[in-house]
C-alpha cells in the first residue's frame, strides 16, 4: 500500500511540476553509472583455490562521501550470469542503492567449478565481494587479466560492528537478493560473513536431498527424511547438462582444470547424478553432502533478517522447503517473513502486477514493493513497514494493476485449519509399481506442467479416490497430509498426487506437484505430507487423491512390486482449509 500511495503522490507532483514548468523542462529518472569488473577471490576449505568472478557495479549519481548509499549484492540462478540481475540492479540504483551483480562460481564467465552453493566456496566468494563493497583493495579489477586495480568510490555506508557484535572492517551496509541458486548462496554467505545485514532468498531450497530425491514420509525434521524417496531425473538431467556446457569451449580452454574429473562440478555432483539416474536414489554419503550444501545444516548461523519468497508453481523447490526454513529461523528468534508468490521454476512468469524479471517496479508490483520496503527498512533505516508476517497469492481473485488485492495476509503461519476428507469408496486397492523405476503412465513433466500432454495410465498401476462434487468453494493454504496402511512384499516407492476434478470430469494435477513415498517400514501406518499448495476447489468440483506406481518425472524403485492400500487403518485426507 505504501508503494501505491507513493506512486500516486509522485504522479500528482509530476503533473504539478509540468503545469508550472517551462515548455522545455522534462522529468528525468535518477541516474547511475555502471562498470564491468573482474574479481580475484580465494575459496575452498582452506582458502587455497583462486577463482575469478565477473560482475557489474551500479552506483547512483547522487551517491557521494557525504550522501552515502547502502549496497545490494546479487547473483544468478543456476545456468545464468550476472546479466540476469541487471534489470533489478538498475531499478535498485534508481532507488538509491549501489548494486553489484555477479556471476556465481562456474557460471557466466566466472571461473572454478560449481559447488552447489557450498559455504566454503560460494559463501566465501560472496564474503570477499562484501569486502570489496566495504572498500578493501586487491579484490576488484577493471580488466580480465587482473592487472588494473579498481578503486571503489567512497560512497557506500559503512558499519563498524558486525552481527556477532564484533568490531568489523571493510563492512558495508549490504543486503543480498537472488532467486534459486542465487537464493541458496545468500544463506551460505550470511552463515559465513556476519557483516551481511539482511537477505531476500527467492525460490530456493532448505535441504537439497529433499529437493532432488524427495520423500513424503520418514520425516526427521522440516523436510529432511531418514531415507531418500525418488530422484527427480528430469530436473537433475537438465541442470547437470546446463552446468557442464555453461563454460563453453572458451571457458574450458581458459581454465582446463574445470574439465578434469567431474566437468565443471565438484566431484560429488557426478557421483550423485550417476546414482540418481541409474538407481533412482542416492547413498547416505551423497545425502549428507547435499545437506552440507543446504541451509538446513547451518541455519543456526543465520542471524540477520530474512524475507523468504517461494513459488506456488514450483516443482523443484516446493513451498514445504520455505516453510521448513521459515519455522527453523523463527524458532531461533530470527526476524523472518514469508511470501508465497504465484510463479516458480515450473512457471516462470509472475502474475500481472506481482513481480517482473525484466522490468521490476516497486511502485506497481506487490512483491517488488515488499522487497524494496524490506531493504529500505533494514539498509536505510527508514522505519517503513515491512508488511505482514505471511502473504500468499490467490489466483482465483480478480484484480487490476498491482497484485496486492490477490494477496491474503496473516500474522502467523500456518493459516489453514485441518479439514478431514473421508472418501466414500472404502476397501483395499492393489497397484503394481513400474519395473526399473520406469513411469507407469503418461502426464506432463514436472519441469513444465503446462505442456499439453494427453494423460494415460497402465492398467493396475494407479489407485484413486474421489469426493462427491463440493457444495461450496473450498480454499486450501498449506500442506495436505494423509496416513496410509499398506502391505507389500518389498520396500516400494509410490507417488501421491492431488487433483482438482471439474464438473465435466477433466482432472488437473494441482501445480504439477507429485510427492514420492519410499515405504521402508510397513509395521505401522505410513504418515505422508504432500507439497503445500494455495488452491480453491470451486463449487461443483471434486477432490481426487491418486497413488501411482511410477511417474514420468522420477526414477522410482528398481523392482516392480505389488502394493495393497487398505482403507482400514488408513486416516482421512487432511486439508489445510481457510475461510
Tens-digit pLDDT profile for residues 492-539 = 999 999 999 999 999 999 999 999 999 998 888 999 999 999 999 999
In tens, the pLDDT along 129-150 reads 999 999 999 999 999 999 999 9
Res 7 pLDDT > 50: no
Task: Please indicate whether the domains covering 32-206+294-410 and 417-578 agree at the CATH topology level.
Answer: no
Res 17 pLDDT > 60: no
**For domain 417-578, which architecture applies?**
Sandwich (2.60)
Res 79 pLDDT > 60: yes
Grid cell locating 524:
505401522
* pTM for this predicted structure: 0.94
* pLDDT of amino acid 28: 61
Q: State the average pLDDT for the chain.
A: 94
SS3 423: coil
pLDDT band at 19 (very low <50, low <70, confident <90, very high): very low
Query: CA-based Rg of the chain, rounded to a whole angstrom?
Result: 25
Q: Report which of 418, 398, 397, 393 is spatially closest to residue 408, judged by C-alpha positions.
A: 393
**Which of 177-193 are b and which e, b meaning 16 or more Cβ less than 10 Å from the residue's Cβ?**
bbbbbbbbbbbbbbbbb
Q: Could you tell me the residue ranges of all domains in the chain? A: 32-206+294-410, 227-290, 417-578
β partners of residue 478: 533
Res 1 pLDDT > 50: no
Looking at CATH, the fold of the domain delimited by 32-206+294-410 is given as Rossmann fold (3.40.50)
**In the predicted model, what is the mean pLDDT of residues 203-210?**
99
Res 4 pLDDT > 60: no
In tens, the pLDDT along 233-246 reads 999 999 999 999 99
Res 3 pLDDT > 70: no
Contact between 128 and 29 under an 8 Å Cβ cutoff? The reply is no
β partners of residue 430: 564
Res 20 pLDDT > 60: no
Angstrom distance (rounded) from CA 323 to CA 574 = 18
- Cell 497397484 sits on residue: 431
In tens, the pLDDT along 27-56 reads 567 899 999 999 999 999 999 999 999 999
Sign of CA dihedral 559, 565, 571, 577: positive
**In the predicted model, what is the mean pLDDT of residues 285-309?**
98
**In the predicted model, what is the mean pLDDT of residues 299-325?**
99
Q: Report which of 226, 221, 223, 185 is spatially closest to residue 207, judged by C-alpha positions.
A: 223
* pLDDT of amino acid 426: 66
* pLDDT of amino acid 179: 99
Contact between 103 and 55 under an 8 Å Cβ cutoff? The reply is yes
Query: Distance of CA 350 to CAs 205, 272, 319, 346, 403, Å?
Result: 19, 32, 16, 11, 10
Amino acid at each position: 500500500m505504501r508503494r501505491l500511495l507513493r506512486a500516486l503522490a509522485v504522479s500528482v507532483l509530476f503533473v504539478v511540476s509540468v503545469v508550472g514548468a517551462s515548455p522545455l523542462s522534462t522529468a528525468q529518472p535518477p541516474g547511475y553509472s555502471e562498470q564491468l569488473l573482474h574479481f580475484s577471490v580465494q575459496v575452498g576449505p582452506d582458502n587455497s583455490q583462486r577463482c575469478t568472478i565477473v560482475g557489474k557495479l551500479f552506483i547512483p549519481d547522487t551517491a557521494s562521501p557525504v550522501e552515502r548509499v547502502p549496497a545490494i549484492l546479487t547473483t544468478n540462478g543456476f545456468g545464468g550470469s550476472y546479466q540476469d540481475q541487471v534489470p533489478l540492479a538498475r531499478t535498485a540504483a534508481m532507488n538509491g542503492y549501489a548494486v553489484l551483480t555477479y556471476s556465481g562460481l562456474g557460471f557466466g564467465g566466472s571461473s572454478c567449478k560449481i559447488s552447489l552453493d557450498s559455504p566454503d566456496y560460494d559463501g566465501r566468494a560472496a564474503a570477499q565481494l562484501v569486502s570489496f563493497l566495504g572498500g578493501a583493495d586487491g579484490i576488484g579489477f577493471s580488466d580480465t587479466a587482473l592487472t588494473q586495480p579498481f578503486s571503489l568510490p567512497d560512497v557506500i555506508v559503512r558499519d563498524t560492528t558486525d552481527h556477532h557484535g564484533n568490531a568489523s572492517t571493510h563492512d558495508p551496509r549490504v543486503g543480498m537478493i537472488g532467486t534459486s541458486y542465487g537464493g541458496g548462496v545468500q544463506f551460505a554467505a550470511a552463515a559465513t560473513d556476519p557483516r551481511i545485514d539482511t537477505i531476500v532468498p527467492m525460490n530456493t531450497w532448505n535441504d537439497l536431498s529433499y529437493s532432488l530425491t524427495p520423500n513424503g514420509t520418514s520425516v526427521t525434521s522440516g523436510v529432511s527424511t531418514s531415507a531418500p524417496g525418488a530422484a527427480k531425473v528430469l530436473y537433475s538431467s537438465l541442470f547437470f547438462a546446463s552446468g557442464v556446457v555453461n563454460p563453453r569451449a572458451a571457458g574450458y580452454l581458459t581454465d582446463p582444470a574445470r574439465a578434469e574429473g567431474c566437468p565443471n562440478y565438484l566431484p560429488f555432483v557426478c557421483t550423485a547424478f550417476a546414482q540418481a539416474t541409474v538407481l533412482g536414489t542416492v547413498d547416505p554419503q551423497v545425502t549428507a553432502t547435499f545437506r552440507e550444501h543446504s541451509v538446513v545444516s547451518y541455519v543456526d548461523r543465520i542471524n540477520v533478517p530474512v524475507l523468504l519468497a517461494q513459488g506456488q508453481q514450483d516443482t523443484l523447490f516446493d513451498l514445504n522447503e520455505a516453510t521448513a526454513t521459515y519455522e527453523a529461523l523463527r524458532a531461533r528468534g530470527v526476524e523472518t517473513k514469508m511470501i508465497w508468490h504465484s510463479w516458480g521454476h515450473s512457471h516462470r512468469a509472475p502474475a500481472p502486477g506481482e513481480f517482473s524479471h525484466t522490468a521490476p517496479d516497486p511502485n506497481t508490483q506487490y512483491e517488488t514493493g515488499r522487497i524494496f520496503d524490506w531493504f529500505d527498512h533494514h539498509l536505510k533505516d527508514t522505519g517503513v513497514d515491512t508488511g505482514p508476517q505471511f502473504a500468499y497469492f490467490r489466483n482465483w481473485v480478480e484484480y487490476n494493476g498491482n497484485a496486492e488485492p490477490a494477496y491474503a495476509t496473516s500474522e502467523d503461519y500456518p493459516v489453514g485449519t485441518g479439514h478431514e476428507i473421508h472418501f466414500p469408496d472404502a476397501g483395499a486397492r492393489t497397484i503394481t509399481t513400474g519395473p526399473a523405476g520406469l513411469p507407469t503412465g503418461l502426464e506432463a513433466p514436472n519441469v513444465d506442467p503446462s505442456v499439453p500432454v494427453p494423460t494415460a495410465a497402465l492398467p493396475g498401476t494407479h489407485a484413486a479416490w474421489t469426493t462427491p462434487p463440493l457444495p461450496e468453494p473450498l480454499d486450501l493454504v498449506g500442506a495436505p497430509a494423509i496416513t496410509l496402511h499398506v502391505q507389500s512384499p518389498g520396500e516400494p516407492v509410490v507417488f501421491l498426487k492431488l487433483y482438482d476434478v471439474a464438473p465435466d470430469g477433466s482432472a488437473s494435477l494441482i501445480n504439477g506437484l507429485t510427492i514420492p513415498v519410499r515405504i521402508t517400514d510397513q509395521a505401522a501406518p505410513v504418515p505422508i505430507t504432500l507439497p503445500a499448495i494455495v488452491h480453491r476447489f470451486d463449487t461443483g468440483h471434486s477432490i481426487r487423491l491418486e497413488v501411482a506406481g511410477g511417474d514420468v518425472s522420477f526414477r522410482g524403485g528398481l523392482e516392480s512390486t505389488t502394493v495393497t492400500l487398505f482403507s482400514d487403518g488408513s486416516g482421512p485426507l487432511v486439508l489445510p482449509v481457510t475461510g
